[in-house]
Amino acid sequence: MKINIEPVIIALKNFRPDRLIRNPVMFVTEIALIMSIYLLIFSGQYGLPVSPRYIYFYTAVIILLFLTVFFSNIAESLSEGKSKAITDSLKKIRQKTIAHVIEGSTIRDVPSEELRTGMIVLVNKNEFVPNDGEIIEGSGYFNESSITGESKPMMKVVGDSVTGSTVLTTDSVKIRITADPGETFLDKMIALVGNSVREKTPNEIALNVMLSGLTLIFLIITASIFSLADFLGINLNLFILIVLLICLIPTTIGALLPALGIAAINKVSQFNIIAKSGRAVENAGDIDTIILDKTGTITIGDRQAINFYPVPGIDRSEFLRYCYLSSAEDVTKEGISIVKLCESSGLDTEKFGGLSGEFIPFTSDTKYSGVKIDDVVILKGAMKSISEKIGRNDSFIEGISAEISSKGGTAMTLCKNDQFLGVIELNDVIKPWIRERIETMKNMNIKTIMCTGDNEITAQYIARESGIEEFVANVKPEDKFREVEKEKDKQRMVAMVGDGTNDAPALARADVGLAMNSGTQAAKDAANMIDLDNDPAKLMDVIFLGKQILITRGSLTTFSLANDVAKYFVIIPAMFYLIPQLGFVNIMGFTDPLLAITSALIFNTFIIPALIPMALKGVKFKASGADELLKRNIILYGAGGIIFPFICIGIIYFLLAGVGVTW
């Protein structure tokens, strides 16, 4: 079995003062270590007792102070080691290949590292995508397993973004390059994960300030005790004062805090999510409103055409013909499914092969798409949009649409010029576990809002079945932004998910914006998190993870400060054991002052490695409201943090005494 000693080597290198000065608590501990070594060497000059029992005590203090700093460095190096492992795996993904650059009517082959933003590249079947880009022509399935771990290829169409080093498994596509060398998605991921010196979050900064303040206060207190003892004629041992200082200052949380900051980014990465900053992860823990898309988040997101409903008087075969014509050039998943349903319904599509027209693409503003052939315009889309376009309504269309919507389906209306032709029924399925997730969010006092382009009836059905509290129907791009703004005006922290260019403003305005890796470059640039698995529902996992990270930091801080209280009642009585009036504070009843102080320092040192797994993995917690979490934190880590050290220090003391350690 190969033992990895790299974290140990890194931990020893991090003893450098220029590294430790970033962590004031550990910097003071290292200064105390240096002072202890100096005092041991020159103990005679400072009137320190030099009998064998005291020399053993001084040596033990030096060893324990060294281990305190060492364990802190180990915690940080283990976190950095995980970052390095993730970075190394990302570097292995990156592929250098030959790109087929289209220049007018010719194709020129160039190395992928020479590609620049704006170049048009042809990617053929079974070739690597040479660089990040956006599909401008064609469609196909892409194997993204090297990035996402998902073995099933993903269908991408015009407008979707593709990531360099993934593989096109079908057909051929043209892509427009969207990143220069060194600025690709993989490059950014490697830089984000691999950079151990990360921007500190506001909570981290606040906690660092508090720890620095406590350290300064206890430095002053320790110096005052020395002056007071000298004034009273009490000869205090400087080594004991050093131990008092180290046990007074919050060494436990001070040692683990750097590791916690790095672990937060690593934990998000393990979910196949790239966070652009620690602030994004921290924001996730404070979220109290989530804005969710219906399609892909609440529902499976793969809407398929399942039935045709021509209006009375329109022959079914004629209706299928117009359905096919409206979708023949539509490369969306819905359009492709309509063509397939037409073919499976008996329509002979080969006779339309030579028929050409001007394709009308779908936009989020018009909410329809179609084709113009000579003077005939065939459109398909939302009933409301089609009705507004042709300037009238139809009772049959309204009735069928209402019936489809009441079942949670989507009704797509078809028209020719100003004539209604019928309705295409699209079906999507609510994710079976989504209701449980929504309930979990409610238990954490997080409000859920669903935004959908569907009508009120469909939105109401989906909201009711999934347990969503609020919904907004007939949504346009600007509506999402306004919804984020409305919640922000209520002083709420907002999270949302999106993948389109029209989602970019709302993603940028939200406190946590999660973009899909398959989404447009604009969406990924605007968001502060990117999901490699393209699972919009993962936003709820991000919120849960953010809560866990904040609770872990709070729990360890509470436990650390509570520990200090217990250590005071061990060390202070031991320091002033010559003063009978202070005997009442010796609640442990220890009779050997040096042994009591050593026991406290041993606990102070070894509690750090004991808590490293908790710092890296996070505290397990049940989803609940802030009040309940605070109560649990105080009882378990506050009260428990006071009682636990008394028990451990007592065991250490009596074990040492039992084996004959009597210095």
| Residue 635 Cα distances to 108, 420, 562, 626, 642, angstroms | 69, 67, 11, 14, 10
For 547-580, write each residue's pLDDT tens digit. 888 888 888 888 888 888 888 777 777 666 545 5
Give the mean pLDDT of the chain.
83
Q: Which tokens belong to 154?
A: 């993903």
Q: In this structure, is the dihedral angle defined by the CA atoms of residues 47, 51, 54 and 58, taken in order, positive or negative?
A: positive
- For residue 120, give every residue at least 6 positions away whose Cβ sits within 8 Å of its Cβ, in sequence order, or none: 101, 102, 136, 174, 175, 176, 177
b (16+ CB within 10 A) / e for 375-410: eebbbbbbbbbbbebbeeebeebeebbeebbeebbb
More confident residue, 507 or 96: 507
Point out the least confidently predicted range of 291-295, 425-429, 604-608.
Answer: 291-295
Of the segments 258-262, 442-446, 580-584, which one has the largest average pLDDT value? Answer: 442-446
- For residue 436, give every residue at least 6 positions away whose Cβ sits within 8 Å of its Cβ, in sequence order, or none: none
Point out the least confidently predicted range of 275-284, 380-389, 600-609.
Answer: 275-284
d(CA 253, CA 559): 8
- List the catalytic residue out of 187, 288, 293, 592: 293
In the predicted model, is pLDDT for residue 640 greater than 70?
A: yes
Percent of the chain exceeding pLDDT 70 equals 87
CATH top-level class of 286-300+430-532: alpha beta
pLDDT at 651 (0 to 100) = 92
| Closest listed residue to residue 426, CA positions, set 311, 543, 333, 528 | 333
In the predicted model, is pLDDT for residue 422 greater than 90?
A: yes
For the question of residue 592 being annotated catalytic, the response is no
The DSSP element (H or E) to which 629 belongs, if any, is helix 626-633
Q: Domain 98-192, CATH 2.70.150.10 — does that match?
A: yes
* DSSP secondary structure, 163-189, as one string: -TT-EE-SS-EEEEE---TT-SHHHHH
DSSP 354: T
pLDDT at 1 (0 to 100) = 46
What is the identity of the amino acid at 227? S
More confident residue, 325 or 296: 325
Contact 463, 471 (CB under 8 A): yes
pLDDT at 247 (0 to 100) = 84
d(CA 622, CA 444): 9
The DSSP element (H or E) to which 121 belongs, if any, is strand 120-123
- State the burial class of residue 299 (Cβ atoms within 10 Å of its Cβ: 0-12, 13-18, 19+): buried
603: confidence class by pLDDT, cuts 50, 70, 90: very high
Span between the terminal Cα atoms of the chain, in Å: 40
Query: pTM of the prediction?
Result: 0.66
More confident residue, 258 or 220: 220
The DSSP element (H or E) to which 309 belongs, if any, is strand 304-310
Domains 98-192 and 286-300+430-532 share a fold: no
pLDDT at 34 (0 to 100) = 94
For 11-65, write each residue's pLDDT tens digit. 888 898 888 888 889 999 999 999 999 999 888 777 788 888 888 889 999 999 9
In the predicted model, is pLDDT for residue 282 greater than 70?
A: yes
In the predicted model, is pLDDT for residue 196 greater than 50?
A: no
Contact 514, 527 (CB under 8 A): yes
Averaged pLDDT for residues 351-375: 80
305: confidence class by pLDDT, cuts 50, 70, 90: very high
Q: Strands 512-516 and 494-498: what pairing?
A: parallel
| Residue 578 Cα distances to 235, 568, 582, angstroms | 10, 17, 9
| Closest listed residue to residue 612, CA positions, set 33, 55, 77 | 77
In the predicted model, is pLDDT for residue 532 greater than 80?
A: no
The three state secondary structure string of 321-332 is: HHHHHHHCCCCC
Domain positions in the chain are 6-87+193-268+545-658, 98-192, 286-300+430-532, 304-427
Q: Which CATH architecture has domain 304-427?
A: 3-Layer(aba) Sandwich (3.40)
Contact 46, 58 (CB under 8 A): no
d(CA 148, CA 408): 31
197: confidence class by pLDDT, cuts 50, 70, 90: very low
Residue 254 phi/psi, 5-degree rounding, is -60, -35
d(CA 663, CA 650): 16
| Closest listed residue to residue 137, CA positions, set 153, 121, 151, 115 | 121
More confident residue, 505 or 631: 505
For 67-113, write each residue's pLDDT tens digit. 999 999 888 787 666 666 666 666 665 667 888 999 988 999 998 88
Q: How many beta carbons lie within 10 A of that of residue 45, not counting itself? A: 8
